Structure 1
Amino acid sequence: MNLVFAELARRFGLGRRRVATGSGDGEIHDERGSDGVHALNVEPSDPAVEAHLATLRLKVPHLIGSLAATVDGLLIAHDLPATIEPTGIAALAAAQLSLSQTFVAATHSTHLQELVIDGGSGHIVIYAAGPTALLGVLTDAEAVLGRVHLEARPAALAIAAVLSTPPQE
């Protein structure tokens, strides 16, 4: 396991546990739709989102894994190794994105698009995927961040488009 992520797991008590998400009916629900933002209503293993994560794995050298989550920290889909617990990382990514968005708002800057954490032995890059979701990308230290951005920015936009599309009946 990469040292950066092992340290995160140790500090935040993350292990190889599995946590159920959503309301128990197999779906993730986001009830915020009243403010004009499309509410999320997606399967936790959304195949279209998984396809974007799989494409990142093929295109980004030194990728450890990736995930998509709601901004509330609920896991939508992941392509992470078994040594990294995805629901905990989804929650941490959402918390970090929220904190960074608050910081950006406090400095009167524009909307936050992404943030990069350099952990010495790897990078954690979190991209806003529309107003209700995020894309988290974990790499080792050898990854070229320019290449990561080149592939992950369009993936975040594509994931946002998938998640903003109302479910087909």
Structure 2
Amino acid sequence: MTVTQFQDARGDLFDSPLPRRSPGARLDSGGEDTPPDGASDQPGPGAAGRHRSDQSAVHAELGVLRDRVPGVRGAVLAGIDGQLLGHDLTAGPEPLDLAALAATTFGLGRQCGLTLQQGPLRELTVHSHQGYFTVYGVSDQILLAVLGDDRLNVSWLHLEAGPVAERIADLLHVGGTT
């Protein structure tokens, strides 16, 4: 089997990096890191303690995958719109980029499931030369994306990620996927 290499004038089309946003930039703010008018990052009265506790618990659940599954580099929690909700990445790709990729991957997988009449998406794994990117549905609106290196045992990841996604859904008070 022959693999065709697509190239443009700059070289290999698939190896060129994508344009980058500055870390923390909002997509709807023209690249600035300021919340829209009337929005505040501060929780309402009485919610501060519960909000921090829920965030800590969700972050701990994201770390479970790294602790239990060899080859996991980190995880991202994202909305189906690509909004970053949380992550436990320490190095590597920008969490904002992975959240956007998770939403895109989910959209493609959802469309495949609909077109093939195979029901809703459960998970989708992209296997590249040096690693894996797997997206799971936590709920109808929230995604769990896991980044792994080439040592990752995907079957083991699937066994561990299901319960993690369920616990995250409970912590965020959202129903699981249907």
TM exceeds 0.5? yes
1:14 Cα offset (Å): 3.3
Q: Which position in structure 2 is the counterpart of 1:33?
A: none
Alpha-carbon contact 2:139-2:174 (below 8 Å) kept? no
Preserved CA contact (<8 Å) 1:49 1:68: no
Specify the alignment match of 1:144 in structure 2: 153
Unaligned runs of 5+ in 1: 1-6, 28-41
TM-score, normalised via structure 1 length: 0.74
Q: What are the within-5 Å matches in structure 2 for residues 77-92 of structure 1?
A: 77-92=86-101
Q: Normalised by the size of structure 2, how large is the TM-score?
A: 0.71
Q: Which has the larger radius of gyration?
A: 2
CA distance in 1: counterparts of 2:20 and 2:171, whole angstroms: 29
State the Cα distance separating 1:15 from its structure 2 match. Answer: 6.2
Q: Which has the higher contact order (CA 8 A, sep 6+)?
A: 1
Length, aligned pairs only: 145
Q: 1:93 to 1:132 in 2, by over 3 A?
A: same
Distance 1:164 1:88 in 2: 26
Cα separation, partners in 2 of 1:16 and 1:10, compared to 1, 3 Å: farther
Q: How does 1:117-136 map to 2 (within 5 A)?
A: 117-136=126-145
Structure 1 residue 165 displacement after superposition? 4.8
Identity between Structure 1 and Structure 2 (%): 30
Task: Tell me the distance in 1 between the aligned counterparts of 2:56 and 2:167.
Answer: 13
2:18 maps to what in 1?
12
Partner of 1:12, secondary structure, is coil
* Structure 2 unaligned blocks of 5 or more: 1-12, 28-34, 43-50
The one-letter code of the counterpart of 2:20 is L
